[in-house]
Amino acid sequence: MSLDFNTPDFEVIRNGNRCIQCKVCVHQCANAVHFYDEEYDVVCVDDSKCVNCHRCVTLCPTKALVIRKYPLEFRENFNWHGKAIKEIYKQSQTGGVLLSSMGNPEPFPIYWDKMLLNASQVTNPSIDPLREPMETKVVIGRKPERLKFDANGKLLTKMPLNIELKVPVMFSAMSYGSISRNAHESLARAAEELGIFYNTGEGGLSKDFYKYGKNTIVQVASGRFGVHKEYLNAGAAIEIKIGQGAKPGIGGHLPGKKVGEDVSATRMIPVGSDAISPAPHHDIYSIEDLRQLIFSLKEATGYKKPVFVKIAAVHNSAAIASGVVRAGADAIVVDGFRGGTGAAPTRVRNNVGIPIELALAAIDQRLREEGIRNYCSLIVAGSIRNSSDVVKAIALGADAVYIGSAAVIALGCHMCHSCSTGKCNWGIATQYPELVKRLNPDIMYKRLVNLISAWNNEIQELLGGMGINAIESLRGNRLMLRGVDLNEKELEVLGIKYAGE
């Protein structure tokens, strides 16, 4: 074993004047950064293990702790910067593929922040959501081309089954396994109270959660973990996961250390085994195979559940989405390259896929050019951070959005990017019982309810400002958007005008 070249990422600073040696930090840190030295009767620190999750900082009763970036600088080099060097140290030491968690953190453009919204002035009145009705409900699913009525005005068209969202925001797929049971329960209960949906992810569904079925979307991914007829019928809709924004082109990763008894039973895999989903579905090698799977799932559920198809935003998304609509999907989910994950190869996460804003604009436009946009709903994911991102996504053409990272942040995630270690101090991305119990679903589900309710209020304010009182009148309403700091090509792809135009 050669020398370990790695240096700490973070420095933990303990203010000796404030610290009362209570050892809360020692008990709280699953990474064993803090430890108690009995001989000297003092709490000590091992910086090298710190992931900067803020658990100790938040819980320290005397606010004695501060965490900083480790003040060790490499010689300045724009090309061989610290991160590039450290990655080589890690790989040359272990021979492994670099793993990361959460979404792409690299400084690519964030188009949400380069689009601005409109508001009414004089020529049309803004609408006050405190005094007038303001509708944010959306209906997701396949729509017939038109409605038919008989001579007496009676509706003849039988509508395909659609699902209704009170707010156009859902909790995106996070499997039981990648996140804890308590995190799952919080999402399910919040979805129920909010009149929206959460997504099981690809890890199956514990029978205890079947009671939240009417607010559940069950996912079918390439690993088919936990997929059986009862499971398919347990939810309100089914989602076929082809790809994920954080790791387009490859399947899911669940490290074996997160596979305990209950996860094992739910996924139908042995305890402690890595759950690595195949890159493709082994029954989908083409678009016509996708159609067969869509209809197999519909057969298995008696045509009572809409089937979504989730794809990662990649170069050719528009054409793929068109194929997916024609294959019979009731909704397309497109996940952008900033979408989160419990574990993904770093190179894939940081270099594969395209921004969701561009993919969304291109897909919506293409489906309209082909005259098929109205057949199918379009849901986007991949780093929707706040209500204005939601509003901009809808103005670009989305029906609704999924949030994953924002939801776990509401549950206490501090974006330390260490989910794959399974040692989440906040009880979210872990299966260790002593960590899981830190997340109390009775309390935490309310934080999710608060978050979405707050966003809903903000969405209503923004809509009212634009003189709109129903969110469907914003969908694809790109005149409500103007770009700043964008070039001609970006404006063209987004289908928006420049500010001042």
Nearest distance, CB of residue 123 and other proteins, angstroms: 4
Q: What is the largest CA-CA distance in the chain?
A: 92
* 375-385 CB burial, b ≥16 within 10 A, e <16: bbbbbbbbbbe
3-state secondary structure 225-288: CCCCHHHHHHCCEEEEECCCCCCCCCCCEECHHHCCHHHHHHHCCCCCCCEECCCCCCCCCCHH
Residue numbers 333-392 binding other proteins by CB under 8 A: 368, 371, 373-374
Query: Is residue 139 at the binding interface for other proteins, with CB under 8 A as the rule?
Result: yes
Tell me, what DSSP letter sits at residue 168?
Answer: S
**Shortest Å distance, C-beta 368 to other proteins:** 5
Q: In the complex, what is the shortest distance from the CB of residue 116 to other proteins, in angstroms, rounded to a whole number?
A: 15
CB 163 within 8 A of CB 140: yes
From residue 282, alpha-carbon distances to 204, 285, 289, 291, 492 in Å are: 18, 7, 10, 14, 38
Size of the site for other proteins (CB under 8 A): 42
Name which of residues 237 to 266 contact other proteins (CB under 8 A): none
- Tell how strand 138-140 and strand 115-117 pair up: unpaired
137 near other proteins, judged by CB under 8 A: yes
Give the contact letters, 112-131, x = binds to other proteins (CB under 8 A), - = no: --------x--xxx-x----
Least distance to other proteins from the beta carbon of 127, Å?
7
326 near other proteins (CB under 8 A): no
CA angle, corner 374, sides to 372 and 376, nearest 5? 85
Q: Is 472 in the site for other proteins (CB under 8 A)?
A: yes
**With binding defined as CB under 8 A, does residue 66 bind other proteins?**
no
Least Å distance, CB 370 to other proteins, is 9
Contact call for residue 480 and other proteins (CB under 8 A): yes
Q: Which of 159, 271, 287, 484 contacts other proteins by CB under 8 A? A: 159
State how far Cα 342 lies from the chain centre.
10
Please state the closest distance from residue 74 (CB atom) to other proteins, in A.
50
Candidates 458, 461, 467, 498; binder of other proteins (CB under 8 A) is: 467
- The least CB distance from residue 236 to other proteins, in Å, is 16
Can you tell me which of 46, 47, 113, 135 binds other proteins, judged by CB under 8 A? 135
Q: How far apart are CA 501 and CA 65, in angstroms?
A: 51
Residue 271 backbone class (left: φ over 0; alpha: ψ -120 to 50; beta: rest): beta
Residues that bind other proteins (CB under 8 A): 120, 123-125, 127, 132-133, 135, 137-139, 141, 143-144, 146-149, 153-155, 157, 159, 162, 368, 371, 373-374, 466-470, 472-480
